[in-house]
C-alpha cells in the first residue's frame, strides 16, 4: 500500500521519512487538524468603534425623545393655561 503524500505525525511537528520521524522546522509547521471556522456565536459581529458609534446614536435619540416629551408637556400646559384664561374654570381645574 503506497501513500501519495508525506506522512505527518498526529501533532503535525514531525515528518516520517520511511525510517524515522524528522522534526519539521517551525516555519513549515503544519497543524494535524485543519482549523475549523469559529461558530456563529463566537464571531465578532461589530468592532469596538462601531459599538461606540451605535451607543452614541442611541443616547442622542433617547435625548431627543425626552426633549420631545418635555416640549409636548409644555405645550399642553400652555394650552390649559390659555383655556383657563379664555373660558374660566369650567370643567377643568385652573
Secondary structure string (H, E, C) spanning the chain = CCCCCCEECCCCCEEECCCCEEECCHHHCCCCCCCCCCCHHHCCCCCHHHHHHHHHHHHHHHHHHHHHHHHHHHHHHHHHHHHHHHHCCCCCCC
Report how far apart, in Å, the C-alpha atoms of 58 and of each of 18, 24, 44 are: 65, 54, 21
The pLDDT value recorded for residue 82 is 79
Please tell me the pTM assigned to this model: 0.41
The pLDDT value recorded for residue 3 is 57
pLDDT one digit per residue (tens) for the chain, 94 residues: 555 678 888 888 888 888 999 998 765 555 555 666 777 677 777 788 888 999 999 999 999 999 999 999 988 888 878 777 777 766 656 6
The pLDDT value recorded for residue 9 is 87
Amino acid at each position: 500500500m503506497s501513500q501519495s503524500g508525506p506522512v505527518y505525525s498526529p501533532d503535525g511537528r514531525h515528518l516520517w521519512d520511511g525510517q524515522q520521524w524528522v522534526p519539521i522546522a517551525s516555519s513549515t509547521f503544519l497543524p494535524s487538524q485543519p482549523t475549523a471556522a469559529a461558530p456563529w456565536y463566537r464571531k465578532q459581529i461589530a468592532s469596538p468603534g462601531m459599538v461606540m458609534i451605535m451607543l452614541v446614536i442611541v443616547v442622542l435619540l433617547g435625548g431627543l425623545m425626552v426633549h420631545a416629551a418635555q416640549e409636548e408637556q409644555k405645550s399642553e400646559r400652555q394650552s390649559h393655561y390659555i383655556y383657563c384664561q379664555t373660558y374660566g374654570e369650567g370643567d377643568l381645574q385652573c
